[in-house]
Structure 1
Amino acid sequence: MEILELPIEFEFNGQKIQIYPSLIIDNNDLTLVDTGYANLLPLIEKEIRKIGYEMKNLKNIIITHYDEDHIGSLYDFKTKFPWVNLIASEIESKYISGELKAERLVQAEEMLDKLPIEEVEFGKWFIQQLKNIKHISVDQKVQSGSKILDGKCTIIATPGHTSGHISVYFPSIKSVITGDAAVNENDKLVIANPHFCLDIEKAKESLDKIKSLNAKTFYCYHGGKLTL
């Protein structure tokens, strides 16, 4: 089993951004972790092909949590590759499917009236971006401790950034895919944007949990791979 990071660079809202979705390779089967903003499918597909793999071998997509930069292209992936097995936590699956209103949308709407006047337009735009995310049903709902990919990796509940956030632990290769439970900032694992954390204390606990795992390599969606 091998994990490769997919460096995806693009312009978003007038800024250059780089994210690092992870690609899990098991024999010749592929599992993508998180799908980027809307309309990023072509860039992610190009990167996968560039490293020598075919999209016909994409078997699973794991979503760490319901945020626009992680699930924006999920609907496009599932539409183009309908055989793909979509994996998410029990909690996040309710937002992905539209069964419940997303926590991030609730947070953004509650914050709108408190924003400085110069940030109100951005706040409205951000809310609309969240409303534009297309809902889709989850095929495989997991919980903390669930074994996936033939038991080769373990789901770790890492709430705080969102309530149902998950990370993925690979004991045999001492690696963790962190989602937004940890980001690589100046070669250190830190909490992703504390202002967006729904529960900062749980986010701190989740970061400590990740650091306590028997792992040497951390695949961070923001900041890229960190090897200790």
Structure 2
Amino acid sequence: MKIIELPIKFEFNGERNYIYPSLIVWNNELTLVDTGYPNFLTLIENEILKSGNEMDNLKNIIITHYDDDHIGSLFDFKEKYPWVNIIASEMETKYISGQVKSERLVQAEQMLDKMSHEEMEFGKWFIQQLKNLKHVPIDEKVRDGDMILDNKCRIIATPGHTSGHISLYFPGLNSVITGDAAVRENHELTIANPHFCLNVVQAEQSLAKIKTLKAENYYCYHGGKFTFSGGKR
């Protein structure tokens, strides 16, 4: 088994940005973790092909949480690769499948009332982005401590950024895929954008939780791979 970082380059507001979905390769089967923004299908496909893998081998997609940069292209992936098994936590499943209005949309609508005139335009745009996301049924619901991928991966509940956020721990690889439970920033691991955390206290606790695993590699969706080489954690 190995984890491949997929650097996805894009422009937003005239600035160059990156996200880093992860690809898990095991027994010639591929598992993609998170699917980028809407219309990122081709960008992610190209990186998977550049890594020497074939899209026909895509078996699973794991969603760490409901946010437009993580589930934006999920519908497109499921439509193009209908055999793919989609995995998410029980709580996030409600939002991804459209059973319940997403926490992020509720938060965005509430924040709109407190925004300045300058911020209002972005706030309205963001709300529309969330409303435009297409709902997708989840095939496999997971809970904290569940073992998946032939018992090579443990689900770690890491609430805070969203209530049902999960991270993935690979004991055999001494690695964690963090989702937004941690971002790589200024050569350290920190919580993702506190302004948008649904519960900052929980987010701090979840960051501490995955640091306690003392993994060597932390694959962060924002900021990229972080490797501990000893010293303070």
Q: Under TM normalisation by the shorter chain, which class is it?
A: over 0.9
Q: Deviations over 1:154-181 (max 9, x none)?
A: 0000000000000000001100000000
- Give distance in 2, aligned partners of 1:78 and 1:214: 35
Task: Give me the identity figure in percent.
Answer: 71
Note the 1:3-152 alignment, pairs <5 A. Answer: 3-152=3-152
Structure 1 vs Structure 2 CA RMSD? 0.7
Contact 1:171 1:214 survives alignment (8 Å)? no
CA deviation after TM superposition for structure 1 residue 214, in Å: 3.5
CA deviation after TM superposition for structure 1 residue 222, in Å: 0.3
- Give distance in 2, aligned partners of 1:93 and 1:79: 18
> Which residues of structure 1 form unaligned runs of 5+?
none
- Give distance in 2, aligned partners of 1:187 and 1:35: 25
Counterpart of 2:163? 163
Counterpart of 1:204? 204
CA deviation after TM superposition for structure 1 residue 32, in Å: 0.2
Aligned residues: 228
| TM-score of the superposed pair, with normalisation by structure 2 | 0.97
Q: Letter of the aligned partner of 2:183 in structure 1? A: V
Q: Letter of the aligned partner of 1:52 in structure 2? A: G
- Give distance in 2, aligned partners of 1:123 and 1:142: 32
CA deviation after TM superposition for structure 1 residue 17, in Å: 1.3
- Give distance in 2, aligned partners of 1:213 and 1:177: 12
SS in 2 for 1:211: helix
Deviates most, 28-37 or 10-19: 10-19
- Say whether residues 1:188 and 2:220 are aligned partners: no
- Give distance in 2, aligned partners of 1:226 and 1:212: 15
| TM-score of the superposed pair, with normalisation by structure 1 | 0.99
Q: Deviations over 1:154-210 (max 9, x none)?
A: 000000000000000000110000000000012201000000000000000000001
> Which residues of structure 2 form unaligned runs of 5+?
229-233
- Give distance in 2, aligned partners of 1:194 and 1:125: 20
CA deviation after TM superposition for structure 1 residue 14, in Å: 3.4
Counterpart of 2:231? none
CA deviation after TM superposition for structure 1 residue 12, in Å: 2.7
- Say whether residues 1:217 and 2:202 are aligned partners: no
- Give distance in 2, aligned partners of 1:172 and 1:118: 49
